[in-house]
Amino acid sequence: MASEDGKKVQEMSPWGGSDGGNLVQDAVDYRGCPADKSSTGGWVAAVLALGIELCERLSTMGIAVNLVTYLTGTMHLPSAAAANVVTDFMGTSFLLCLLGGFLADSFLGRYLTIAIFALVQAVGTGLLVVSTEVRHLRPPPCGGAGPCEQATGLQMGVLYVCLYLIALGTGGLKSSVSGFCTDQFDQRDARERAAMSLLFNRLFFFISVGTLLSVTVLVYVQEHVGRSWAYGICAGAMLAAVAVFLTGTRRYRYKRSSGSPIVHILQVLVAAARKQNIKQQLASAALYEDRKEHARITHTAQFPCLDRAAVMAGDDDNEVGRDGRPTPNPWKLCSVSRVEEVKMVALLMPVWATTILFWTIYAQMITFSVEQAITMDRRMGGFEIPAASLTVFFVGATMLTLAVYDRVFIPLCRSLMTGRQGFTNLEKIGIGLVLSIVGMAAAAITEKKRLAVAAMASNAGAAVLPISVFQLTPQFLLVGPGEAFIYTGQLDFFITRSPKGMKTMSTGLFLTTLSLGFFLSSALVSLVKSCTRWLGDTINHSRLDYFYWLLAVLGVVNLAAYFVCAMWATPTATNQAEQPHPATAAADEKC
């Protein structure tokens, strides 16, 4: 929007003065008019959205972290099967972030996507309350000398409906919260840009607070009051968060998308495939470009097969536009800048692939580690710690690592090394991978000790093994800091290395590493169970230590592959400039 037009809009606005600088060029308010900085956006608006993220973590992790005990103790599933239910549920939650991002970018917008899918999660959690409360939706308790009766297909089916409704809600809203929060800050304003630099740390802090509350308060309620009460708290918290979120409708800034990045990527791939037989020299000067000079991305020699999408083939590339004139068909001809955006995404993929295994290791912290804790002595004085609450060490280590890194390590780097702002995003990811390997080695050693005690205790008929549950803390205290490094490193890497117009999709790519990590955990458990005797029906009749060593070895191989990918992944600079958003012109006309 031209500055002259901006002044006219400001003069027409009931909230304005004569200074067009108070308007955010690429955002509108709830009425569709250019957003005024004095009355929209900022930390007030961002915090209202972050409340949704806190309650989502409280709800999802409050269910997931103690779900394995419900599946084994109430639904009477075998140990490995229960672990797979949990990892499949978590994997689906993060995989559905791609669906949520697509709907937000293409149809609903981030505001509606968050509101709708938060309600979906609340409904799913409410149904889970019913599922755990109604007597006929779970098998009878174990009793007598006969084997325990496992949950029927109908009972498991009802539970799956509840869980995957929750997963749908989680995926839908989680893909949009971080993007919607960044929408509340104007990157052209130095003060707001500085405030936004703190956003992702605070986002992760809110996530950690929600997780901490889930593994302490909610797990205690599940164990000592009742699961239905705990799940009811989750449903109520989500409804309250939605209500608070909606109160900020007049305060928010809204940005309209120019289309789905996934569709744009597909257009480049289809256009390149249609012209795969072209033999001519693909010189950059002969390729199609429709962007203004300041908004173009410089042509590169990487992935030359994609350059064919920008080769002009005359009338075959055109279609009849709304005005009756021929216009380029985006499925046949794409601009050089669009092709370069796809190349930038392609460069992210090797690092993306080598971070998946971390989340497979992470999955063990909320599945098999909880099953280990169930069998161990959990007394602390006169209080018995719920098994799932042991993950408080995991969450606490994550939060402590972030605090020490921000408050101690970064200032130390600034004083000792001029210009150094701590570890780079690739270094953080590498540190996280190393800590996960050491964590699995520690877990394997601890499990071997636990199994030795279990062998002796079985002869004595002991129900609880005479070994302290605090023996598990080393694995939590290693993988927890690993999560702190790899989560922040991945998020930084995918956002800073992605094209400007594909930030939301890049966040979705990051979240799919979590999804695929959980699915890989399920696949490995099934494969190991079918090929070996390491994973039996009960954890005391398994060799879980062998499985942990397998993950440690896979982690070493993956780390070597990561080092190769990290050396290949060089920073990609683009000459994309901030440009007026398509929403601005429409808003000018409307207001």
Region of poorest pLDDT, from 53-62, 176-185, 241-250, 278-287: 278-287
Average pLDDT of the segment spanning 372-384: 86
The whole-model pTM stands at 0.78
Position 174 scores a pLDDT of 84
Do the beta carbons of residue 480 and residue 398 sit within 8 Å?
A: yes
Domains defined along the chain, listed by start: 23-141+151-257 (1.20.1250.20), 261-334 (no CATH), 339-573 (1.20.1250.20)
Q: Is the pLDDT of residue 11 over 60?
A: no
Q: Is the pLDDT of residue 512 over 50?
A: yes
Element (H, E) at 206: helix 199-213
Q: Is the pLDDT of residue 226 over 50?
A: yes
Amino acid at 293: E
Q: Is the pLDDT of residue 459 over 60?
A: no
Do the beta carbons of residue 34 and residue 584 sit within 8 Å?
A: yes
The dihedrals phi and psi of 19, each to the nearest 5 degrees, come to: -95, 110
The dihedrals phi and psi of 319, each to the nearest 5 degrees, come to: -140, 165
Nearest CA to 90 among 174, 156, 154, 155? Answer: 174
Do the beta carbons of residue 308 and residue 278 sit within 8 Å?
A: yes
Residue at token pair 């953080």: 428
Contacts of 324 (CB under 8 A, 6+ apart): none
Q: What is the pLDDT of residues 23-45, one digit of tens each?
A: 777 788 888 888 888 888 888 88
Confidence of residue 577 (pLDDT cuts 50, 70, 90): very low
Confidence of residue 504 (pLDDT cuts 50, 70, 90): low
Do the beta carbons of residue 7 and residue 18 sit within 8 Å?
A: yes
Q: Is the pLDDT of residue 9 over 60?
A: no
Q: What is the pLDDT of residues 527-542, one digit of tens each?
A: 999 999 898 888 888 8
Measured CA to CA, the distance from residue 173 to residue 117 in angstroms comes to 5
Q: What is the pLDDT of residues 74-84, one digit of tens each?
A: 898 988 889 89
Confidence of residue 281 (pLDDT cuts 50, 70, 90): low
Q: Which residues pair with 36 in a beta bridge?
A: 23
Do the beta carbons of residue 420 and residue 414 sit within 8 Å?
A: yes
Region of poorest pLDDT, from 277-286, 347-356, 388-397: 277-286
DSSP code of residue 147 = P
Measured CA to CA, the distance from residue 139 to residue 368 in angstroms comes to 23
Region of poorest pLDDT, from 217-226, 341-350, 383-392, 558-567: 383-392
Measured CA to CA, the distance from residue 411 to residue 413 in angstroms comes to 5
DSSP 3-state of 309: helix
Beta-strand pair 379-380/34-36: unpaired
Position 538 scores a pLDDT of 83
Please indicate whether residue 253 or residue 420 has the higher confidence score (pLDDT).
253
Q: Where are the beta strands (DSSP E) in 228-362?
A: 318-320, 326-328
Please indicate whether residue 488 or residue 585 has the higher confidence score (pLDDT).
488
Position 312 scores a pLDDT of 85
What secondary structure, in 3-state letters, does 40-82 show?
A: CCHHHHHHHHHHHHHHHHHHHHHHHCCHHHHHHHCCCCCHHHH
Q: What is the pLDDT of residues 430-457, one digit of tens each?
A: 999 999 999 999 999 999 999 999 888 7
Measured CA to CA, the distance from residue 497 to residue 574 in angstroms comes to 10
Q: Quickly list DSSP for 476-530.
A: HHHHHHHHHHHHHHHHHHHHHSS-GGGHHHHHHHHHHHHHHHHHHHHHHHHHHHH
Q: Quickly list DSSP for 539-570.
A: GGGS-HHHHHHHHHHHHHHHHHHHHHHHHH--
Among residues of the chain, what percentage have pLDDT more than 70? 86
Interior angle at CA 60, CA 509 and CA 46, nearest 5: 65
Please indicate whether residue 283 or residue 60 has the higher confidence score (pLDDT).
60
Cα of first residue to Cα of last residue in the chain, in angstroms, is 13
Average pLDDT of the segment spanning 499-505: 70
Amino acid at 181: C
DSSP 3-state of 465: strand
Position 501 scores a pLDDT of 64
Sign of the CA dihedral with 574 first, then 578, 579, and 581 last: positive
Sign of the CA dihedral with 197 first, then 198, 199, and 203 last: positive
Do the beta carbons of residue 425 and residue 496 sit within 8 Å?
A: yes
Contacts of 29 (CB under 8 A, 6+ apart): 35, 36, 39, 40, 250, 252, 253, 254
Region of poorest pLDDT, from 34-48, 515-529, 554-568: 34-48
